[in-house]
Structure 1
Amino acid sequence: MTGEHEAGARSTWPALRVADWTATRDTLHMWMQIVGKIRLAHAPLLNHWWQVTSYVSPRGLTTSAIPCRSGVFDIEFDFVDHRLVVRASDGGVRTVALEPKPVADFYHETMQALRELGIPTKIQPSPNEVEEAIPFAEDYRHDTYDPNAVHLFWRQLLQADRVLGEFRSFYVGKVSPVHFFWGAMDLACTRFSGRAAPPHPGGAPNCGDWVMAEGYSRELSSCGFWPGGGEEGAFYAYAYPEPDGFADHPIAPREAFYSKDNGQFLLPYEAVRTADNPDRALVSFLQTTYEAAAVHGRWDRAALEDDPDRWAPQRPRHRRQQGQEG
Structure 2
Amino acid sequence: MSEPSPAPWPRLRLDDWAATRDTLHMWTQIVGKARMAQSPLVNHWWHSTLYVSARGLTTGTFPAGSGMVDVELDLVDHRLLARSSNGGHRGFALEGQSVARFYEQTLEVLTALGVDPVFQPSPNEVDPAVPFAEDTAAREYDGDAAHLFWQQLVRVDRVLGEFRARFAGKVSPVHFYWGSMDMACTRFSGRSAPPHPGGAPNCADWVMVEAYDRELSSCGFWPGGGDEGAFYAYAYPTPEGFVERPVSVGEYSTELGEFVLPYEVAAESDDPEATVLTFLQQTYEAAADLAGWDRAALEVDPGRLDAHRYRRGQDGP
TM-score between the two structures when normalised by the length of structure 1: 0.94
State the partner residue of 2:229: 233
Residue pair 1:10, 1:276 contacting (<8 A) in 2 also: no
The residue correspondences of 1:1-326 to structure 2 (distance < 5 A) are 2=2, 5-6=4-5, 9-11=6-8, 13-141=9-137, 143-253=139-249, 256-316=250-310, 323=317
Residue pair 2:219, 2:280 contacting (<8 A) in 1 also: yes
Q: Distance in 2 between matches of 1:322 and 1:177?
A: 33
Q: Deviations over 1:70-106 (max 9, x none)?
A: 1000000100000010101111100021000000000
Match of 1:51, SS state, is: coil
Q: Which has the higher helix share?
A: 1
Shift of 1:320: 6.4
Shift of 1:321: 7.7
Q: Distance in 1 between matches of 2:197 and 2:316?
A: 55
Residue pair 1:82, 1:98 contacting (<8 A) in 2 also: yes
Q: Distance in 1 between matches of 2:236 and 2:137?
A: 35
Runs of 4+ in structure 1 displaced over 6 angstroms?
Answer: none
Shift of 1:247: 1.1
Shift of 1:182: 0.2
Residue pair 1:100, 1:145 contacting (<8 A) in 2 also: yes
Shift of 1:68: 1.5
Q: Distance in 2 between matches of 1:220 and 1:239?
A: 6
Q: Distance in 2 between matches of 1:208 and 1:119?
A: 26
Match of 1:5, SS state, is: coil
Q: Distance in 2 between matches of 1:127 and 1:252?
A: 37
Residue pair 2:64, 2:114 contacting (<8 A) in 1 also: no
- Contiguous gaps of at least 5 residues in structure 2: none
Shift of 1:118: 2.2
Shift of 1:117: 1.8
Shift of 1:131: 1.1
Q: Distance in 1 between matches of 2:316 and 2:198?
A: 53
Q: Distance in 1 between matches of 2:117 and 2:157?
A: 30
Distance change in 2, residues 1:65/1:322 (3 Å): farther
Q: Distance in 2 between matches of 1:229 and 1:150?
A: 18
Distance change in 2, residues 1:142/1:163 (3 Å): farther
Shift of 1:18: 0.3
Aligned residues: 316
Q: Distance in 1 between matches of 2:221 and 2:309?
A: 33
